[in-house]
Amino acid sequence: MRKLLSAIAAATATFVVTVAAVAVVPQTAEAATATYRLTYLTLPNGSKVPLRWNGCQTAITWKVNLAGVPSTLRPTVLSETKTVVGQLAAYTGFTFSYKGTTTEVPQVGSMPRQTAELVIAYSSPSKTTYNLYGSTLGQGGLFGGWVSRTVSGRTTYTAAATRGFVVLDSPQMLSQTRGGFGTGLRRTNLLSHELGHAIGLEHVYNTAEQMNPVLTSVAPKGLASGDRAGLTRIGKGAGCINTAYMLKDLS
Ligand SMILES: [Zn+2]
């Protein structure tokens, strides 16, 4: 966790802004039977709020790193990736703006320095500090923070997600999953799962949902009804968030 402090003195009242940032990489620790779970941020006053993106952001910019995919397969994987991001746009109501390819590979702590709000990297375990060891096919997460505003002794909190990432073990993905769209062991299902984390979904232990922590032969085609219900709750319809004092909107 990283903390930044700043203070602004207003003319008629003491106005203090406190900013904190937190990176969230979902873990597999907790059991759940729900059809979806959101990623929660605990505020200093003890309340827990869903960590979600600003519903009024012009766009969530994104870039893709295809270095881990053989060059002949890159057009196919790029096309699949654009389709999956397009589905995410439909389910959340957010606009996603593609900004091309990148050589960036997400690392622990690197999200604030990303050149797009969302970086999707088809990479390999040796190139990232995120845990892609063993059977782990990918990691996804998001970065956000909170701002507290204290006016005349009354403190209110605003929290938002401002960056996200997906990093995939491409060699393992290519050997264990198929291309295209459908049920089961598909790389598009893996990407849908990790992008779910980047938007704010946590795991549910339910093989009918794509947010099940293990990709199985009975995985649904893309994001399933519970996954989509979760995305609706934290999507554009959840409303605007004032992201002043947080990481810059790159759109
Ligand atoms: Zn996961």
What is the tens place of the pLDDT at every residue in 175-185? 999 999 999 99
Ligand 1 centroid to 197 CA: how many Å?
7
Given a cut of 60, whether residue 251 has pLDDT beyond it is: yes
What is the per-residue pLDDT across 190-217, written as a single tens digit (0 to 9) for each? 999 999 999 999 999 899 999 999 999 9
Instruction: Annotate 198-225 with DSSP letters as a single string.
Output: HHTEE--S-TTSTTSSS--TT--SSS-H
Q: How high is the pLDDT of residue 34?
A: 78
Given a cut of 60, whether residue 26 has pLDDT beyond it is: no
Ligand 1 centroid to 59 CA: how many Å?
24
Ligand 1 centroid to 203 CA: how many Å?
6
- CA atoms of 38 and 26, how far apart (whole Å): 10
- CA atoms of 21 and 12, how far apart (whole Å): 29
Ligand 1 centroid to 142 CA: how many Å?
12
Ligand 1 centroid to 35 CA: how many Å?
14
- CA atoms of 40 and 202, how far apart (whole Å): 9
Given a cut of 50, whether residue 13 has pLDDT beyond it is: no
The residues, ordered by sequence, that sit 6+ positions from 8 with a Cβ below 8 Å of its Cβ are 15, 16, 17
Q: What is the mean pLDDT of residues 26-42?
A: 70
Ligand 1 centroid to 11 CA: how many Å?
48
CATH superfamily of 2-232: Collagenase (Catalytic Domain) (3.40.390.10)
- Kindly state the percentage of the chain with pLDDT values over 90: 73
Q: How high is the pLDDT of residue 33?
A: 58
Q: Is 192 exposed, middle or buried (0-12, 13-18, 19+ CB in 10 A)?
A: buried
In 3-state terms, what secondary structure has residue 115? coil
Ligand 1 centroid to 136 CA: how many Å?
9
What is the per-residue pLDDT across 214-239, written as a single tens digit (0 to 9) for each? 999 999 999 999 999 999 999 999 99
